[in-house]
Amino acid sequence: MRTRFFTTTIAIVGIVLFVRLFFLQIISDQYGDLSLKNSVLKHYIYPERGYIFDRNGSLLVSNQPMYDLMVIPKNLEPFDTLDLCKMLRLSKSELVERINKARRYSLRAPSVLLNQISKQDYAILQEKMWKFPGMYIQRKSVRDYQTEVAANLLGYISEVNNFDIRNNPYYVKGELIGRQGIEKTYEEVLRGTKGVSYLQRDKFNRIIGPYKDGTLDTLQVPAQDITLSIDIALQEYGTKLLTNKRGGILAIEPKTGEILMSVSTPTFDPNALVGRDRSSLFEALKQDTLNRYLFDRSLQGQYAPGSPFKVLNALVALEEGVVDAKTKFTCYSGHYYARNQFMACMCPLGTKNNLNRGIYKSCNTYFSNVYRRIIDKDNKVEENINNWHKHLNSFGLGNYLGYDHPVGQPGYVPNANFYNLWYPNQRWRGSTIVSNAIGQGEILMTPIQLANVAATIANRGFFYTPHFVKGIQGDFIDPKYKTKRATSISKEHFTNVIEGMADVVSKGTARVAGIRGIEVCGKTGTIENFTKIDGVRTQLTDHSVFIAFAPKDDPKIALAVIVENGYWGARWAAPIASLVIEKYLKGEVKRRWLENRMLNGSLEEEYAKVTSNKPFAINE
Amino acid sequence: MNKFLRFDWVALTLFLMLVGIGLVNIYSAVYDANNTAIAAGFMQKQLISLGIGFVLIFLFQFIDIKFFERYASILFLVSIVSLLGLWAFGTEVSGARSWYTIGGFSLQPSEFAKVAVALALAKHLGGFNTRIENVKDYTGAFVIMAIPAILTILQPDPGTAIVLLSFFLVLHAEGLPANFLYVMLGLFGLFILTLLVGVNPTLWTIGVLALFAYAYRRLRKEKKVLRPILLIGIMGAAFTLSVSYIFDNVFEQRHRDRFNILLGKEVDVRGVGYNINQSQIAIGSGRGLGKGYLQGTQTKGGFVPEQQTDYIFTTVGEEWGFLGTSLVLGLFIMLMMQIVKTAYKQKTTFSRVFCLGFACILLTHVGINLGMVVGLVPTIGIPLPLMSYGGSSLLAFSVFMGIYLRVYYQRIQ
């Protein structure tokens, strides 16, 4: 007899099981999550996405219903496939494939058979739904754009991807997120917060009731509507003016920093990105590397600023005391700034220009001399250029402006380090980098920066961070948009520069921009630019650029217009700016002839040159 | 001593507690908030079985143990006949012809065969001239175990067959030559090894072990060492080959899958590994104190198949946590220990062997069932005694309990 055998065996079995249970229930912590994943379904209740209005209260973006056709494969009965295929414009094999896919996913849980069915198709389908047991229609909400312009500005929403989900635990698969534009910046405002109810489901994925009697459920927080500072009429007008041209218009209300319009062309109808054809259309827009529809020229386009930059150099020079309003330089239709290095100018031979004439005649010689005086002052080039750099920084150049739109570029303003790298041992001075005097060279600016410079000059020395939002329901707006940002230029220096800019329109390079009864201040620009064609650096027709503000004494609008390869500034940019100002300040445009010239003018031929594979002439 | 005090109140209390916990958890496992009638139906059936069980326990207190000893052979024969009768009158449920259906109730004769075998073994070993060390006597005991085991395997119900064969432990406790246990353990080891690493490595292992054994014994200058080692080695190799053959050719795919899952050779949580995975999720997610009665998400969602029967312990684990599982485990261990303690206080071999048989059956059931739900043992479909839903099992254990209580009561005589 082995009297201890059973006691021992029972004890061993007991200990082994006890240890295993301790491990399963106390030590290991993976099973809790696994069981939640198994059996608890989070059901979300989404608040309706907030509306977007323009500054005058007209609705820009609302929501519209879209319909998904859902299927529960287990409940399917034989149906008229041909009928369904015809209504949905699907081939039979595609339908079968989709049903099989749903079947593989789950027999009892609903899957999407076809998503984003339009209202029209829904109307037909709904009548016949009784014929298709096992299918039903689920309503969901998508964006409805009430305007055909401002696609890049407003942005769009799309389904979250894995990256979004990893970054922000709020989102789960299948939800929508503001992907671009205002929709992205103000995602949280427009989205609200979804409510969650926890549901218990069974092994067939069926809902069998609330989980923990709903004690964990949370309520939704409604979304808020947004009022933009954009004037949609102006935006539409600007878009029309830029039709068949590539470029951008950006207008700011100087007193507040509110952005009145932000046009970039070529553009597309934002409604194109809603609905079933979205992905193919989006891909087409994205793939077009010539028109670059998704590239917002007014915010992202970095251009050499050209002649409008001269006014900044004038301001720096006045502030630094290297010239005053009376200082004169003689122009010999240009000048030699170094041996054999001639910079041409439009002035007649022997013209003596002071600040005022320098600006309204846009004299290259005058500004080259001014710039060299800034840089070469006391032979401290490094210190001087850094000082110049600092002044420009105070205008918001060389850095992101801080506006409320997700896209943008900082532009570029060189400093001493930059040139030390290019020309070691300090073998550079004002004449070396004289292109900067006339806004060519190394400087890069975006249209919004140009417009902001115009607004700053209009304000005589300060600006508010440009912004697109005027109000969020409940009147909240980020205080940073209400804070003055002063420049490092004293107020009195602006007077002379503004006089010069007024003369640009009254008797200078941009007389075409004059409007009866409104004193417009502006500055034209003609930007040399280059591209690479088959690896060869090729000069293209100049960009046409214009900055302006009006009226002179009580500025209500400041703007920058750039028309790519439009040749000289007064050819396209100045008239367009002038028409926009007239439209904004007077409500209607009287100069039909000018308007028609702009509306009907096309630069498509100019743009086609680059891809023509043939030699071509520029600036014709 | 007061007759009343001679009764085993401890065992009865443990028995009642386990049955009670069982009922509470069965209710939770079948509970459907939308249709409480379902749970009520289950409870009604189980309570009827329990009522009959109580009546049997009560009646058995008035039957002298000598009666069972005298009629053990007849009860055994009746049991064998009832197993044989399944071929003629049995009902097939999910592939196994193991049930008689009478009215609305089904009876599983193999459950009662456990009692019959326990009684028959007790009678056989308690015989006047029986000595377990004798070849004739232990062969007789093997036959008593083997006949019903073979009959249940043929149903096919391998789980019950394993339980019946576990009476081997009783024989060992009674003094069966130890070599049988070593052989059993050796075969078990070879079995696992073969499945885990395959035939050839196992054969190599046998060879190397044999060589070591030979060298060791030669060094100790023992004589006649080659032949027994060779014999054992060859038998081991033969067993390995036959295991591999049986596993691949006799076992059905579902059996193979169960072993493969357990040995970690296959992970398929949607297919054959579903049960074991879900039951571990249920138990593991209970953590320390459980999710609360009727709050188990796994239980409510019906993710664990057969939860009210073989997997009832997962409900305990999920809703009562480690507190509940260790309580249930503790109660079972206390009950078994109490029975073993009683066994060795008996004066007659018959009573002792019967008690050991009862303890052995409980141990096998608890060990295999709990081992299965926590993922230590392959899926073998046997219920958790006293707790699982099912009338036959509950009745059989009630019979065991009734006789046991009477044995305890009579130990002074």
In a domain, B200, yes or no: yes
Residue A445 has pLDDT above 90, yes or no: yes
Q: Do B131 and B161 belong to one domain?
A: yes
pLDDT value of position A612: 84
Kindly report, residue by residue over B233-247, the tens digit of the pLDDT: 898 898 888 888 877
Residue B56 carries which DSSP code? Answer: H
Note the Cα B10 to chain centre separation in Å.
23
Give contacts of B285 with chain A, Cβ < 8 Å: 31-32, 34-36
Query: Which two structure tokens, joined as six digits, stand for B161?
Result: 């067959």
CA distance to A149, A619, B154, B385, per residue, from A561 (Å)? 17, 19, 93, 87
Phi and psi dihedrals of A96, rounded to 5?
-60, -40
Give contacts of B344 with chain A, Cβ < 8 Å: 3
Among B250, B268, B296, the domain-final residue is B250
pLDDT value of position A162: 84
Is the Cβ of A15 closer than 8 Å to some Cβ of chain B? no
Among B231, B250, B269, the domain-final residue is B250
**CATH pick for A232-272+294-611 out of 3.30.980.20, 3.50.50.60, 3.40.640.10, 3.40.710.10:** 3.40.710.10
The answer, yes or no, to whether the previous bond of A270 is cis (omega within 30 of 0) is no
pLDDT value of position A477: 76
Kindly report, residue by residue over B254-298, the tens digit of the pLDDT: 777 766 766 666 666 666 678 888 888 899 988 889 888 888 888
Give contacts of A1 with chain B, Cβ < 8 Å: 173-175
Label residue B333 by pLDDT band (50, 70, 90). very high
Q: Compare all CA atoms of chain B with the CA of A3 and give the residue at the minimum distance.
A: B173
Q: Compare all CA atoms of chain B with the CA of A17 and give the residue at the minimum distance.
A: B371
Q: Using only C-alpha atoms, what is the Rg of chain B?
A: 23
**Average pLDDT estimate for A374-395:** 93
Closest residue by Cα to residue A373 from A423, A310, A321 = A321
Mutation choice for A interface testing from B281, B323, B337, B348 by most A CBs within 10 A: B281
pLDDT value of position A476: 67
CA distance to A142, A195, A222, A402, per residue, from A219 (Å)? 22, 4, 9, 34
- The proportion of chain A whose per-residue pLDDT surpasses 70, expressed as a percent, equals 99
SS3 (DSSP) at A112 = strand
Q: A34–B284: do the CB atoms touch at under 8 Å?
A: yes
Helix (H) or strand (E) holding A60: strand A59-71
CA torsion A156-A161-A163-A169 (nearest 10°) is 90
Residue A256, exposed/middle/buried by CB under 10 A (0-12, 13-18, 19+)?
Answer: middle
Q: Do B241 and B144 belong to one domain?
A: no
Is the Cβ of A201 closer than 8 Å to some Cβ of chain B? yes
Domain range for B79 is: 59-175
Query: Which two structure tokens, joined as six digits, stand for B274?
Result: 């579903």
Query: Which two structure tokens, joined as six digits, stand for A579?
Result: 């028409």
Q: Compare all CA atoms of chain A with the CA of B367 and give the residue at the minimum distance.
A: A13
SS3 (DSSP) at B7 = coil
Strand partners, B91: B99
- The proportion of chain B whose per-residue pLDDT surpasses 70, expressed as a percent, equals 94
In the numeric block, the tokens 């998508």 are attached to A142
Phi and psi dihedrals of B302, rounded to 5?
65, 35
Q: Compare all CA atoms of chain B with the CA of A41 and give the residue at the minimum distance.
A: B297
The residue that leads in pLDDT, A425 or B352, is: B352
B182-198 burial string, b = 16+ CB within 10 Å, else e? eeeeeeeebbebbbeee
The residue that leads in pLDDT, B350 or A139, is: B350
Note the Cα A565 to chain centre separation in Å.
22
In a domain, B362, yes or no: no
**CATH pick for A42-63+144-228 out of 3.40.50.1100, 3.90.1310.10, 3.40.50.720, 2.160.10.10:** 3.90.1310.10
The residue that leads in pLDDT, B301 or B317, is: B317
pLDDT value of position B269: 63
Those of residues 204-263 in A touching chain B at CB distance below 8 A are: 208-209, 211-212
Note the Cα B32 to chain centre separation in Å.
31
Q: Is there a contact between B363 and B172 (Cβ–Cβ < 8 Å)?
A: no
Closest residue by Cα to residue A344 from A335, A353, A352 = A335
Distance CA A206, CA A108 (A): 7
Q: B325–A25: do the CB atoms touch at under 8 Å?
A: yes
Among B250, B267, B293, the domain-final residue is B250
Distance CA B188, CA B361 (A): 20
Strand partners, A53: A59, A227
Distance CA B202, CA B242 (A): 12
Q: What DSSP string runs through A217-249?
A: -B--B----EEES--HHHHHHHHHHTTTS-EEE
Kindly report, residue by residue over B83-142, the tens digit of the pLDDT: 999 988 888 876 678 888 887 778 899 999 999 999 999 999 998 888 888 889 999 999
Identical fold at A42-63+144-228 and A232-272+294-611? Answer: no
Closest residue by Cα to residue B120 from B60, B73, B171 = B73
SS3 (DSSP) at B192 = helix
Residue A28, exposed/middle/buried by CB under 10 A (0-12, 13-18, 19+)?
Answer: middle
> What's at A179, amino acid-wise?
R
Q: Do B156 and B215 belong to one domain?
A: no
Q: A38–B174: do the CB atoms touch at under 8 Å?
A: no
Closest residue by Cα to residue A570 from A588, A550, A551, A597 = A597
Kindly report, residue by residue over A22-81, the tens digit of the pLDDT: 999 998 888 877 887 777 777 788 889 999 999 999 999 999 888 888 888 888 888 888
**Average pLDDT estimate for A467-472:** 92
Q: How many domains does chain B have?
A: 2
Q: Do B184 and B116 belong to one domain?
A: no
Query: Which two structure tokens, joined as six digits, stand for A65?
Result: 């219903």
**Domain ranges within chain A, ordered by starting residue:** 42-63+144-228, 232-272+294-611
pLDDT value of position B412: 55
Label residue A536 by pLDDT band (50, 70, 90). confident
A475-493 burial string, b = 16+ CB within 10 Å, else e? eebeeebeeebebebeeeb
Q: Using only C-alpha atoms, what is the Rg of chain A?
A: 32
**Average pLDDT estimate for B309-322:** 93
Q: Is there a contact between B22 and B387 (Cβ–Cβ < 8 Å)?
A: yes
pLDDT value of position B81: 95
Q: A38–B297: do the CB atoms touch at under 8 Å?
A: yes
